[in-house]
């Protein structure tokens, strides 16, 4: 594994403007490892515009160590190298979050036609006694970049992603992204001599090469492919040799040109400074607004209730800070007027459903209470709640749990009226009266929180409908 080149903190202007991996080091310990398309600019952003909790902590403690870097030839290589270095060194601020959902793993099953998938919790996806025993690679920090990398690599090494083989080939086969082992079960597929053996061999070979790239990078895979090509030529199997040659060329091309990083300062298309001023005016605060969190809940009559937290930093979503909550407070069965509560139930227990109707206020209160227990996630400057004055008051009560709570401004958006209820102001503001940029941002926050909450709610409902002996 390559070694870092280190510079003192006061010499960060000498860092390269190329893509690669960087680290912050204090003494003999590595504190944080990250990747970037432009190492110098990314490190400067960490030091000059701290947003994440670890950045603020690092500067608050007076970071006076060194900054290291390793150049890479491609963005995919930077992603893979970052994952391998984090796994090797376990930097303090990369592993400070104990929640496994912060990291991503790629799994490849041991089947005739291996399946490739992404998961947060590898041990729970295929628990015993399931027999596929997938091989897992990770952890990867940037889920979006990982998905984009797999999408690019799939062009070179087509693989299967479906849980069970369908009855006929899907669109991925038509696009050349899957070898379509399902085609073998069709009438035409059964007529192809040796088809099953060849697709099985190619599927396992592609999965093996994909695994090598994710674990070690491109060098070993390219060496193996060149050996295969020479061996095929020696046996005068020129068709196979040409196929491998094309695969080598395609792999080198996609690794060199694939763009998988979404750098903030290169992609921001909105005038954030102007929007920030308007948000400061309507919330009557002089504190800068960089991090906004939006919350929503989803349920059916209180059943399988879920909550979501989405985070926008400088006007753009940052999915590394998305969180979802399964409502823990028990939902009682339909309460009749005579009893008022279940037998043996604590009178002071917060019920999220009363008389068969969901209590959105109690659910929002639970979500925010649990969220504010995680100060290691960092704190927002601005909070948007989906709801009216009742949800706003619940959020304000929860905010009192933390220090410096006055620095956080809370607003609530009522869907039916499309009015914005603002902390400390008696009258709400009509959303349509706000400038178009702020109007769009608030609706985007609300819709993203709603989408994230309802997607988790649907997932929980699907799990409940599955048979008890079904492993996932």
Shared domain for 222 and 341, answered yes or no, is no
Task: Among 96, 129, 162, give the residue marking a domain's end.
Answer: 96
| Integer CA distances (angstroms), 257 to 76, 216, 244, 253, 254, in order | 10, 19, 20, 6, 5
Task: Among 201, 225, 257, give the residue marking a domain's end.
Answer: 257
Shared domain for 290 and 412, answered yes or no, is yes
Maximum distance among all alpha carbons in the chain?
87
Shared domain for 302 and 247, answered yes or no, is no
Shared domain for 247 and 306, answered yes or no, is no
Count the Cβ atoms, other than its own, within 10 Å of residue 470: 8
Structural domain of 207: 140-257
Shared domain for 51 and 173, answered yes or no, is no
Tell me if 216 is assigned to some domain: yes
CA distance 280 to 292: 12
Shared domain for 154 and 62, answered yes or no, is no
Q: pLDDT tens across 152-205, in order?
A: 888 888 888 888 787 777 888 878 888 888 877 666 666 666 667 788 888 888
Looking at residue 274, its pLDDT comes to 83
Q: pLDDT tens across 239-265, in order?
A: 778 888 877 877 777 666 666 665 444
Looking at residue 266, its pLDDT comes to 43
CA distance 400 to 207: 52
CA distance 435 to 429: 12
Looking at residue 311, its pLDDT comes to 92
Tell me if 107 is assigned to some domain: no
Shared domain for 251 and 353, answered yes or no, is no
Tell me if 23 is assigned to some domain: yes
CA distance 237 to 219: 25
Whether the Cβ atoms of residue 141 and residue 103 lie closer than 8 Å to each other: yes
Whether the Cβ atoms of residue 114 and residue 203 lie closer than 8 Å to each other: yes
Tell me if 471 is assigned to some domain: no
Task: Among 96, 126, 156, give the residue marking a domain's end.
Answer: 96
Shared domain for 26 and 62, answered yes or no, is yes
Tell me if 102 is assigned to some domain: no
Q: Domain with 342 in it: what CATH number?
A: 3.30.420.340
Q: Look-up: residue for tokens 């036609």? A: 113
Looking at residue 241, its pLDDT comes to 84
Looking at residue 329, its pLDDT comes to 65
Q: How many residues does the chain have?
A: 472
Q: How far apart are the first and last CA of the chain?
A: 35
Shared domain for 303 and 412, answered yes or no, is yes
Whether the Cβ atoms of residue 316 and residue 330 lie closer than 8 Å to each other: no
Tell me if 380 is assigned to some domain: yes
Shared domain for 291 and 247, answered yes or no, is no
Q: Domain with 51 in it: what CATH number?
A: 3.40.1440.10
Looking at residue 237, its pLDDT comes to 77
CA distance 223 to 118: 27
Tell me if 217 is assigned to some domain: yes
Looking at residue 360, its pLDDT comes to 78
Name the stretches of the chain with pLDDT < 70.
1-2, 49-53, 60-62, 95-102, 123-132, 185-195, 254-271, 299-304, 329-358, 457, 460-472
Shared domain for 304 and 422, answered yes or no, is yes
Number of structural domains in the chain: 3
- Look up residue 337 and give its two tokens: 């007027």
Shared domain for 194 and 69, answered yes or no, is no
Tell me if 168 is assigned to some domain: yes
């Amino acid at each position: 594994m390559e070694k870092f080149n280190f510079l003192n903190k006061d010499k960060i202007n000498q860092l390269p403007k190329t893509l690669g991996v960087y680290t912050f080091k204090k003494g003999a310990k590595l504190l944080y490892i990250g990747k970037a398309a432009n190492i110098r600019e990314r490190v400067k952003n960490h030091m000059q515009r701290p947003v994440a909790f670890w950045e603020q902590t690092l500067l608050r403690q007076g970071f006076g160590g060194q900054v290291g870097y390793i150049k890479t030839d491609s963005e995919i290589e930077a992603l893979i190298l970052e994952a391998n270095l984090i796994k090797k060194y376990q930097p303090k601020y990369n592993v400070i979050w104990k929640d496994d959902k912060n990291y991503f793993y790629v799994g490849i099953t041991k089947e005739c036609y291996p399946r490739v998938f992404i998961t947060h919790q590898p041990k729970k996806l295929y628990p015993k006694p399931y027999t596929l025993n997938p091989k897992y690679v990770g952890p990867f920090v940037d889920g979006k970049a990982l998905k984009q990398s797999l999408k690019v690599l799939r062009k070179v090494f087509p693989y299967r992603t479906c849980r069970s083989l369908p009855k006929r080939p899907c669109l991925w086969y038509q696009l050349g992204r899957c070898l379509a082992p399902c085609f073998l079960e069709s009438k035409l597929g059964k007529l192809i001599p040796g088809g099953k053996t060849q697709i099985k061999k190619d599927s396992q070979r592609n999965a093996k090469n994909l695994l090598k790239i994710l674990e070690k990078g491109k060098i070993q895979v390219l060496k193996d492919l060149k050996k295969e090509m020479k061996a095929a030529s020696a046996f005068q199997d020129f068709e196979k040799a040409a196929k491998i040659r094309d695969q080598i060329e395609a792999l080198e091309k996609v690794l060199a040109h694939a763009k998988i990083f979404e750098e903030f300062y290169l992609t921001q298309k909105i005038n954030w400074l102007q929007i920030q001023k308007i948000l400061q005016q309507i919330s009557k605060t002089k504190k800068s607004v960089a991090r906004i969190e939006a919350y929503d809940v989803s349920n059916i009559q209180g059943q399988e209730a879920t909550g979501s937290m989405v985070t926008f930093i400088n006007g753009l979503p940052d999915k590394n800070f998305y969180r979802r909550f399964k409502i823990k407070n028990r939902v009682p069965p339909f309460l009749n007027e005579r009893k008022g509560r279940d037998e043996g139930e604590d009178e002071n227990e917060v019920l999220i459903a009363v008389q068969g109707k969901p209590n959105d206020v109690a659910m929002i209160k639970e979500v925010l209470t649990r969220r504010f227990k995680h100060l290691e996630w960092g704190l927002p400057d601005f909070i948007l709640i989906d709801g009216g004055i009742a949800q706003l008051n619940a959020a304000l009560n929860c905010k009192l749990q933390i220090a410096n709570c006055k620095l956080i401004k809370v607003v609530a958006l009522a869907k039916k009226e499309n009015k914005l209820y603002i902390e400390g102001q008696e009258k709400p503001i009509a959303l349509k009266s706000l400038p178009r940029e702020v109007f769009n941002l608030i609706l985007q926050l609300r819709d993203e929180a709603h989408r994230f909450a309802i997607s988790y709610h649907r997932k929980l409902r699907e799990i409940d409908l599955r048979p008890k002996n079904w492993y996932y």
